Amino acid sequence: MIPTFIVLAFVLAVVLSALRVLREYQRGVVFQLGRFWKVKGPGLVLVIPVIQQMVRVDLRTLVFDVPSQDVISRDNVSIKVNAVIYFRVIDPQKAIINVEDFFAATSQLAQTTLRSVLGQHELDEMLTSRDKLNADIQNILDAQTDAWGIKVANVEIKHIDLDESMIRAIAKQAEAERERRAKIIHAEGEMQAADKLVEAARKLAAQPQAIQLRYLQTLVEVAGDKSSTIVFPLPIDLIKPLLGKE
């Protein structure tokens, strides 16, 4: 006959083995005789040995660093792009039943989606419109992983690597753009200065005395120069009064 303490020890061991403790960010997907039963947790959970099995699922946000992907842009530029993706499980049942490994599936889908989306845009868009590209990739991933119980929270493109020849070409393009803007600004300045000169000429023409005063002011400015010889024209308007007296 089996001693009582052995029986009690066996029962206690079975009970202890049936107990599971799930943390606040964990859930347990319980299968009973191979069929889905329910999602349990957090806290103390009882799992009947042999009859029931439980798979733990972490509900915290997971971070996946997408390796560098070779991408050919729409304008036929070869680049390397890597990104980081933040996602989490929102439906433990789907994450365990509908896909074998939700983390691996999401990571592989992220790599293919990154290449597909970026390949539809030109290089300039990738460099200047990252926020829009991030949103496009996130929306596509979120729609496709919904059946797996996954929510893609954010996608960020980290680096876009170019070869040396393309970097030099972009630098030349930027320099040409700066020169073009400088010429436009200079031309606009010349145009504004010409408009002001035309306006000043009209005002001086309307008042002949103003022309004489301006002429005298110019003489004062020239006289202050260090040159020893000064040659200046004598406006006929200044000597007209003298000629009239004769």
Over the stretch 164-180, which tens digit does the pLDDT of each residue have?
766 666 667 777 878 88
Long-range contacts of 195-201 (CB under 8 A, 24+ apart): none
Domain total of the chain: 2
Whether pLDDT at 115 is above 70: yes
Does 41 map to a domain?
yes
Record the pTM: 0.65
Q: Are residues 77 and 147 in the same domain?
A: yes
Full domain range(s) for residue 19: 14-58
Does 143 map to a domain?
yes
Does 39 map to a domain?
yes
Average per-residue pLDDT for the chain: 83
Q: Are residues 52 and 106 in the same domain?
A: no
Q: Are residues 118 and 81 in the same domain?
A: yes
Buried-exposed string 216-239: b where 16+ CB fall within 10 A, e elsewhere: eeeeeeeeeeeeeeeeeeeeeeee
What are 6-59's pLDDT values in tens digits?
Answer: 777 777 777 777 888 999 999 999 999 989 999 998 999 989 888 999 999 999
Whether pLDDT at 142 is above 60: yes
In this predicted structure, what is the pLDDT of residue 216? 64
Does 152 map to a domain?
yes
Does 102 map to a domain?
yes
Q: Are residues 112 and 155 in the same domain?
A: yes
